[in-house]
Amino acid sequence: MKLSQLSRLPPRWRARAMRAGYNLHPAFRATGGRVIHVSPDLLHIRVRLALTRRTRNLVGSIYGGSLFAVTDGVHVGMLMARLGREAIIWDKAATIRYRKPAFCTLTGDFTLSEADLQDIREALDRDHETERTYPVELKGPDGTVYTEVWRTIYLADKAWYKHHKLRLGAAGDAS
């Protein structure tokens, strides 16, 4: 199911549909991660990354690529689900810090707040584009942080973005 179709569902089904969408998507499945919880308001998602044969590296810990990939696109999906078609939303940049090798199953929590969404709407009304950086910690069962990831998300007003892109394209053609 596409995120654009999510708004057509009754609100009580949206979290389940979003969870199923992530878990069935081939790119997300390939990370080895699974979405285990989506809050009804779509402002919190929890993922699990198990140490398995598919996620294990040469030394037996979780492969760094899986640690990084399991965080890809989750905040984007949450923002798209909540902001709808009013904004262009892209994953712009990310940094990762491996704190220690993970020899256990990890979980990561992705959160937004209504205040975040309001700030984004105000920034888009005022400046037409904005960026937000969201931290995610991948933790073990005892709460130990094994990996920290910071995802920078680019957001733009859709109408402004299309006009701005056309204007830049025309300027590039003239030179």
- Domains observed in the chain: 3-174 (3.10.129.10)
pLDDT cut 90: percent of the chain above it: 79
CA dist 82 to 30, 116, 145, Å? Answer: 26, 11, 28
* Prediction pTM value: 0.88
pLDDT in tens, 110-138: 999 999 999 999 999 999 999 999 999 99
Which residue in 165, 139, 136, 169 sits closest to 151, CA to CA?
Answer: 136
Residue 80 pLDDT greater than 60, yes or no:
yes
Rounded to 5 degrees, φ, ψ at 170 are -65, -40
Distance of CA 158 to the CA centre of its chain: 19
Residue 141 pLDDT greater than 80, yes or no:
yes
Cα 8–10–16 angle (5° rounding)?
Answer: 100
Select the more confidently predicted residue: 7 or 2.
Answer: 7
pLDDT in tens, 31-73: 999 999 999 999 999 999 999 999 999 999 999 999 999 999 9
- Residue 3 is predicted with a pLDDT of 59
